[in-house]
Amino acid sequence: MGSTKATSIAPNGREESPRVPADSVRAELERILHSPPFRGSHRSQDFLRYVVEKALASQLTDLKERHIAVDLFGRPADANLAEDTIVRVSAREVRRRLEQYYSSPEGAGAEWQIHLPAGSYVPEFRHSVRRAETPPAPEANSSASPPLKAGWHPGILRRRWWLLPVVAVLALAAFAAWRRNAASPEASAASQFWQPLLSAGEEVLIGVPHPIVFHPSVRATRESAKRLPPQEIPLQRSLALRPEELTGSDFIEVQDQYVAFGDLIAASNLQAFFALEGKRVKLRLASKVDLADLKETPSVQIGAYTNRWTLELSRNARFRFRYTEDGRACIVDTASPGKQWALPVLTSDGTSDLDYLLITRLLAGSSGQPAILVAGLKQFGTGAGGQLLTDPEQLGRILRGIEDGRWRPSNLQMVLEMRVIGNTPSPPHLVAWHVW
């Protein structure tokens, strides 16, 4: 067993005792950067390398939030860091990954450890102090003192016996931390699902759907206001006009201004997920995305009928979005004519007590970049899809239900079903899948 001693760097730029060997720290840095917790996050790698090199060069004044934002992340000098939290988010993620690394067998034996204390961007370099071997016990009935190894004194051994319970507790705590951080089979499966996209580049593009919404005309709004009582608070209100008082010109098509609530849930979950994975996110309306964007950047496309890229990228896939003859949204199985999953009834207000979700992972689709498509027939399924994709345990359980894990090196589609109770979807369950 061993203990560690924190070694900080003094304000005057000189390291305090014991002296930090830069070569040993850099060697440990390289081991960390190539370890599983860091291997898939370029941003975490860049952040840790930056702060370690600055500390070793005694450039501690550079380890301030604004300087890091400008120098490492290319933010403008006058950036509003209250809103742009990239430095703080990156630091939290690095601390989490370091904890995972030092809780693993690979990191536990490091002679020099690198830590990033909470609330600081100045790393600590901790030296692991290892115990010498215990001297052999004297022979029975021998009055001779046991031979002493160089550097030992009998009092040292006696004084250290009290440490044994402490060391045992620390070892148990370290093991518990390792067990918490060790990937479960479900989390491991979820990680493998995301790996092609997360390892493809520094940025991820999220395409957000753009439903067409119809506004009442100015004429209709004014006529309605004449029939309604005045308001102290000017909230929006339904039209107080009969259908026969409206004409086609009273419905004004509005594009690229609205996002459905389920689509918003999916986008929010995915944006937070990528932030924790150290990925920069470009959030755009799908109507503003072109093929050049998809050729340059891996993407997640949200929604189906309101996102042309979901339909375009999956046009040759087995499961596709369609409409039934009576106008209900559905997912069809092109390999089994007549097989489809459809909304139970067609409603004008979009409500439903059942929804279906289609998730498609393309390792290199027509754009040449990895893409994940997530869309329900209604907003309920899309919102549930965003939550599913960012929940490792839930996603992993579904993936492990796919025969022999054949999806890992392949393109994958999953059709999932969920009940909707009071506009809230239940956890989805797998009803069909395909790999190719």
pLDDT in tens, 278-292: 889 999 999 999 998
Report pLDDT digits (tens) over 307-351: 999 999 999 999 999 999 999 999 999 999 899 999 988 887 778
* 286/426 same-domain check: yes
Angle of helix 261-276 relative to helix 379-389, nearest 10 degrees? 10
Phi-psi region of 121 (alpha: psi -120 to 50; beta: other; left: phi over 0): alpha
Task: Label residue 52 exposed, middle or buried (CB < 10 Å: 0-12, 13-18, 19+).
Answer: buried
Does residue 386 have a pLDDT over 90?
yes
Same domain, 427 and 282: yes
Question: Concatenated DSSP letters for 311-358?
Answer: HHHTTTSSEEEEE-TTS-EEEEETTSTT-EEE-SS--TT---SEEEEE
Q: Report the alpha-carbon distance of residue 252 to residue 215 in Å, rounded.
A: 5
Return the minimum-mean-pLDDT range out of 154-163, 234-243, 289-298. Answer: 154-163
Are 296 and 423 members of one domain? yes
Whether 11 and 62 share a structural domain: yes
**Same domain as 273, residue 249:** no
Beta strands (DSSP E) in 50-172 are 112-115, 124-130
> What is the greatest pairwise CA distance in the chain?
114
Asked if 293 and 412 sit in the same domain, the reply is yes
Residue 18 has what pLDDT?
Answer: 53
Residue 244, domain extent: 213-229+237-254
DSSP state of 180: H
Q: What's the one-letter identity of residue 75?
A: R
CA angle 65, 202, 308 (to 5 degrees): 125
The Cα–Cα gap between 81 and 10 comes to: 27
Q: Is the pLDDT of residue 139 over 50?
A: no
Are 337 and 412 found together in one domain? yes
Residue type, 227: R
The predicted structure's pLDDT at residue 265: 93
**Shared-domain flag, residues 13 and 117:** yes
Is there a single domain that holds both residue 408 and residue 308?
yes
CATH number for position 346: 3.30.379.10
Same-domain check for residues 21 and 118: yes
